[in-house]
Structure formats: C-alpha cells, structure tokens
Structure 1
Amino acid sequence: MEDQMKSLLRQLVRRIPIRFLKVTLEKWGRLTVAQQQNIDFTQTKWALADELIAYSEENRLTLRHITELEMIYVIDNPNQGMWHAFQLVDPESDAPAVELMQFKEQFKSHLNELVRNVSVKMKKNTDEAVWIRIAWGDSCSRPNNMRPTYVVHYLQTPYVFVTRLTSKQKTLLSQAMIIATRHQAIKDAHLSGRNFSAIRDLLMQEYEQVFPAKYPSALVERNQIAALPNIEREQAEAEVNRLQMACEAFGGGKLPQLQSVVYKLETKFKDPSNQTFTEREKPFNCVVTFTSKNLLESLRHCASSGIASTPITPLLSSIPRRGRNYFVITDKVSGPSSQINPTV
C-alpha cells in the first residue's frame, strides 16, 4: 500500500469517532464479514489504523476505495468545516435538462482541462444531492488527498455548497460548474456556516415558513392570555402583537440552526461631541457579529418576549427572507444608487 493511502486511512481513523466508525465501515462494505467481526474497537486508534491498513492490503484496496470511505463519513456527518453557499445565475435554455451522467462527464472533463493533476469523485446521495470530492494538484505535484474540497450540488437547482476551497481553486471550480450546469455565471450567496443542513435549508427555503400579513385566530388561542388572567388586557394584546410580528419576520415553525450573522458597517460617524470622527470623509468601518447555537430561534424569542423591539428591523428579518448571513450596511444616498436596506 502506498504511503499516501496509509496516511489518508490513518487520518480518517483519527477523525471518525469510535461510535461512528463501525457503522461507517459497514456502509463501506470493503471488508469481509470475518474481518469486520475481528476488529477490536476498544484498542487505540493507532492500533486500529494498523489493523485496517493490514486488511486493506490483504483485500488489495486502492486509493479510490479509501476516498470512498471518507466520502461516506463526510456525507453522513457534514458539519466538519465551514460551508459556503453559491448560486448559479443566467441559466441557458437546456439547463433544466442536465442529467447526472451528463453533469459528471462535463464537470470532470473541463476540470481536467484546467488542472493537469486533479482527482474527482462523485456520489449521488439519497436526497438527490450530488457530492463531489476534489483532490487538487498542479503541473508538478500529485493530487493532495489529505485536504480535499467538497462540493454539494442539487441538480436542476442553482445552489452549490462548498467547503475547503482556496481563491485559486474557486476560479477553476466556478468555470467547471458553470459549463457542467449550463449557466452563465456563479455568484457568492453571502451565506456560510458549519451546520450544512442549516445553510442549505435557509438558502433553498426548505423549512416551515410562515410569513403572512395577519395570523389567523388560532394564533391568539395559542397565547398565554387564558393562563395568565391577572395580566392587564393591554399587556396581553402587546404580547400577542409581539409574537405575531416575530413569527411574521422569522416564521412560525422550526427554524434552520444558523449559528452566526455578520454585519459590515460602512457608514459616516455621526456624533456632535466627537468632531474628529464626524468630520472625516472616509466612512466608519466596523464589523458586528451575532452568534448563537440557533440564531434565528434566539432572535424570534427576543422579539416575542420584548427583549428586542418590534416591528422587527429589516437588518434582522432579512436573514430568513433573503437567505443570507452576511450584510454590508452603507449610508442612504440620494439618486438611483441609494441603498435603503442592508445590501452587499
């Protein structure tokens, strides 16, 4: 077995928690029943890796088989790194007709034209997502399988999700993706996070959305007026209104577990008591980041409980409505270029 294969297998054993390793190996299906039954999962990971290397050599497995094992684990446990969302734009007339085999051939052939040494492996998941593993090399080096790029694309949709991608690789990947999907361009969706399903559901609007102008009477029946009879009527009405506005802004059901949102401020400093900053011509630059285990749920709770003021500012309601978590805020200016809402 080549050193690269051994290194990759050792890296995988170190990455995969023991509680997931047995199931991952079963899905892999490259070990015999006897070999899998003989594996001692209580031994150290170094010894466990040695045992798997010995079985892999005995079964004459190749590097392709080892990368297959990695893909199985990454697909089942995608929250291992920072994911970035992109959106394909300006589709050609035949874009909706692109099928999996056609996409594979076009993507691989074009990427091989751009990069001399590159290894591409694709796997279609049960949810119709195409998972792409790319090991990048160059004219002088073999593909680096230790730090591959992962790309997820849902066919017949304009959405692409990427992790572990350098700026140089981004240009090459974009060209291959545009040609393979029959689009004219690809743009940054300004949405990123470690929870893959959260950014996917937010961008693709695949979660329970409730954005009505007015809630039905059922919402009033769900409030706590009956449970809190001593609260004054006007206070109870204010509580109902806050809940309604919170749900109109963020939805009434379970929300994607988005973990952060970033606001980049490029505005004039306004403070009569500080002439030094107020009179400067250049804008005042500042970055504000909100983080939470479930940011959208936290914001909805803040609004419904009265911690945050209502109606909800567009700075916050734009997160689910526009499917993004990165905004650039500039001053309003007169003319056609004026920016009323946070924009990029």
Structure 2
Amino acid sequence: MDEQALAILQRILRKLPSKKTQRTLRTWGCLSAEQLEDLDFTQPKWLILENLVSKCEENRLRLKDVTKLEMVYHMENPNQGTWHALKLAEAEDEAASVDFTQFKEMFVSHLEDAVQHVSVRMKKQDDGAVWIRTAFGDNLTRPNHLKPTYAVHYLQTPYVFILNLSAKHKPFLYQALVLSTRHSAINEAHLSGRSLTALRDLLMKQYQQVFPNQDRTLKERNAPPSHPNIDKEHVNIAERSHQMACEAFGDGALPKLESAVYKLKTRYRGSSEHTLADRDELFRGVVKFSSTNLLESLRHCVSNSMAEGPVTPLFSSITQQGRNYFVITEKVPEATSQTPACTT
C-alpha cells in the first residue's frame, strides 16, 4: 500500500466515529466477513488502523480501493466541509434523455481530454444523486488523491453541488459537467453551506411550502388555544404573524442553512442635513446572519412577532430564490437613486 493510500486510510479512520466504523467498512465491501469480525473496534484507533492496514495488504488492496472507502465515507457523512451550489443553463434537446451510463462516459472522456493526469470515480445512489470523486494532477504530476474534489449531480435536474474545488481546476470540471449533461452553460447559484441535504431541499423545493391560498387550513391546524383573558385582536395578530412566517420560510422541518450573507453597495440614507448624504461614493460592507438553523430562527422571530411583518424580501428571497448570498445595490445607477435592490 503506497503513501497516499495509507494517508487516506488514516484520515478516514480519524474522522469516523467508532460506532460507525464497522458499518462503513462493511459497506465498503473490500474485507470479508471473517476479517471484519477479527477487528476489535473497541481498541484505540491507532491499533485498529494497524490491523486494518494488515488486512488491506493481505487482500492486496490498492489506492483505488482506498478511494472507494473515502467515497463511501463522504456519501454516508455528506455534511463535511462547505458545499457550493451550481445551476446548469441553456439545456439542449437531448438533456432530458441523458442517463447515468451516458453521463459517466461523456464526463470522463471530456475531463481526460482536458487534463492529462486525472482520476475519476463515480457512483449513483438510489435517490438519483450521482457522486463524482475527481483527483486532479497536471502534465507533470500524477493525480493528488489527498485533495480530491467532490461533485454531486441529480440527473435530469440543473443542479450540481461542489466540494473542495480549486480555482485552477474549476474550468475543467465545469466544462465536463456542461458537455456531459447536454447544456451550454453553468452558473453559480449563490448558495453554500455545510449541509448538502439542506442545499438540495432548498433548490428543489423539497420541504413543506405554504402559499397564501392555504390560509384557512394553516390557521385551523396551528390555531392557538382559546383563553378568556386573551384579547381577540392579539389572537388575530398571532395568526397573521404565523401565516406570514410560514409563507416566507415554509412549514414543518426546514432546510438547515447556517448563514446568509449580504454585500452592501448602497448610498447613505439619513437626515438631509447630514454631510454623508451628499457623497457620491457608495458605502460598502458585508452583513452576515448566522445560526445553527437560520431559516428556523427567522421563522421563529416572525411567527412570535419578534420581527415586524410582512417579511422583508431580503429574507424571503432565501427560500424563494434558493440562495444565501446577495449583493445589495442601487436600482438606478444615477446618484439620485434612493432605492436599494438585490442583484446577483
């Protein structure tokens, strides 16, 4: 077993919780049932690693087998690192008919044409997600398996999610994705986070949305308990706040986003006597909202009247547009403009 394979094996074992190690190795499928039984998973990890390396060498496993284990680990633990969402654009007529076999053959072919040394491993899951592990090299060096790039694409959808992609290799991967999916372009979706599931659910609308015509049903299901001391007006306000919150962010469990970023390029808006109001130069800054579950926190604030309604488009656009990065600029470029706008 070479140095890269050993380093990858060590890294995976360090990250794996002890209670999940046996299950992950079983899913890997490169060790026999007897070999798995011989491993004592209650031992310290360094000792488990020694025994595991011994069995890998006994089975003459190579680097490609260890990269398969790494891929299993990432598929079982997708909330590692920061994922970035992309959206394919300008689909060709054949885009809807591309199946996994065609996609795999075209992707590998286009990438190998563009990069002399590259290693690609691909796996399709039951939910339609195609996981792609790519290790890049260059004209002089072999693929660096210690710094692989992961991509997840849902066939027959325009969405791709990327993890650990360097700027140097971005054009090659983007080109391979565009050509193999029969599209003409690929764009940043301005959505990122640690939870791959949350990004997918937000873009594909796989969460419980609430629309204005569902007002009566939602009120009946979430009506507050009656109490003789509660004023009817307060009850109505609470109902309206809850309705607005659910229409803006959804009902039930929400995609788990950790942050939303707003980059400001706006003019000063204050008292007309203030000298800053006459400046032509734009104010620039960045505002970041963070939470373990940002959408849930925002919904809670609105639903409990901690924030005034209706919900500002700056927040409702997170779910409506499926993004968490915004640039706030002036609607009109002239110096007299006083109305901010969200742009890409």
TM-score, normalized by the shorter chain, greater than 0.5: yes
CA distance in 2, matches of 1:259, 1:334: 33
Quick one: percent identity of the two aligned structures?
Answer: 49
Equivalent position of 2:203 in the other structure? 203
* Contact 2:209 2:246 survives alignment (8 Å): no
Partner of 1:262: 261
Report Cα offsets for 1:203-252 as digits up to 9, x if no partner: 111111112245015514632141x3211111111111111111111122
C-alpha change, 1:109 and 1:83, in structure 2 (3 Å) is same
User: 1:219 is matched with which residue?
Assistant: 219
In structure 1, what is the equivalent of residue 122 of structure 2? 122
Q: Which AA in structure 2 matches 1:185?
A: A
**Inter-CA distance 221–127: structure 2 relative to 1 (3 Å threshold):** closer
Q: Which amino acid aligns with 1:193?
A: G
Task: Work out the CA distance in 1 between the residues paired with 2:219 and 2:167.
Answer: 48
Distance 1:262 1:274, change over 3 A: farther
Aligned to 1:230: 229
Map of 1:132 onto structure 2: 132
- SS for the counterpart of 1:183 is coil
Q: For the aligned residues, what is the CA RMSD? A: 1.9
Aligned to 2:289: 290
TM-score of the pair, normalised by structure 2: 0.95
Matched residue SS, 1:342: strand
- Matches of 1:297 and 1:216, distance apart in 2: 22
**CA separation in 1, counterparts of 2:273 and 2:188?**
37
- Residue pairs, 1:88-107, within 5 angstroms: 88-107=88-107
Moved more, 41-50 or 28-37: 41-50
Q: C-alpha separation between the residues in 2 aligned to 1:90 and 1:301? A: 38
Partner of 2:309: 310
Q: Give the aligned partner of residue 33 of structure 2.
A: 33
- SS of the equivalent of 2:343 reads coil
Letter in 2 for 1:114: A
In structure 2, the gaps of 5 or more residues are none
Post-superposition Cα deviations, 1:235-279, rounded to whole Å, max 9, x if no partner, equal: 111111111111111122221111111111110122348856433
Deviation string for 1:53-104 (max 9, x for gaps)? Answer: 1101100112111111111110011001100000000001111111111111
Closer, same or farther in 2 for the Cα pair 1:18/1:98, shift >3 Å?
Answer: same
Q: How many angstroms apart in 1 are the aligned matches of 2:217 and 2:27? A: 49
Q: Which residue of structure 1 aligns with residue 45 of structure 2?
A: 45
CA distance in 2, matches of 1:98, 1:150: 21
Query: Which range moves more in the overlay, 3-12 or 315-324?
Result: 3-12
Partner of 2:168: 168
Task: Tell me how many residue pairs correspond in the alignment.
Answer: 342
Distance 1:276 1:14 in 2: 58
The one-letter code sitting in structure 1 at the alignment partner of 2:258 is Q
**Which letter maps to 1:104?**
K
CA contact (8 A) 1:220 1:240 kept: no
Partner of 1:249: 248
Instruction: Indicate how the Cα distance of structure 1 residues 245 and 25 shifts in structure 2: closer, same or farther if over 3 A, else same.
Output: same
Identify the range of structure 1 (242-251 vs 120-129) with the bigger mean alpha-carbon deviation: 242-251
**C-alpha separation between the residues in 2 aligned to 1:317 and 1:12?**
39
Shift of 1:183: 0.2
1: distance between equivalents of 2:338 and 2:23?
A: 55
Please give the alpha-carbon distance, in whole angstroms, between the structure 1 residues aligned to 2:60 and 2:24: 19
Query: Which residue in the other structure is 1:156 paired with?
Result: 156
For 1:244 and 1:8, locate their aligned partners in 2 and report how far apart those are by CA, in whole Å: 50
Shift in Å, 1:338: 11
Check conservation: 1:211, 1:250, Cα contact below 8 A: no
Distance 2:273 2:146 in 1: 53
Instruction: Name the CA shift for 1:72/1:273 in 2 (closer, same or farther; >3 Å).
Output: same
Distance 1:48 1:58 in 2: 15
- Report the Cα distance in structure 2 between the residues aligned to 1:317 and 1:61, rounded to whole angstroms: 51
Aligned to 1:271: 270
Task: Return the alpha-carbon distance in structure 1 between the equivalents of residues 137 and 118 of structure 2.
Answer: 5
Rounded to whole Å, the distance in 2 between the matches of 1:47 and 1:288 is 47
The CA deviation at 1:9 is: 1.2
Question: How far, CA to CA, are the matches of 1:218 and 1:250 in structure 2?
Answer: 14
Aligned to 2:70: 70
CA distance in 2, matches of 1:164, 1:69: 18
What secondary structure is seen at the aligned counterpart in 2 of 1:84? Answer: strand
Return the alpha-carbon distance in structure 2 between the equivalents of residues 214 and 36 of structure 1. Answer: 54
Gaps of 5+ in 1: none
**8 A contact 1:85–1:162 mirrored in 2:** yes
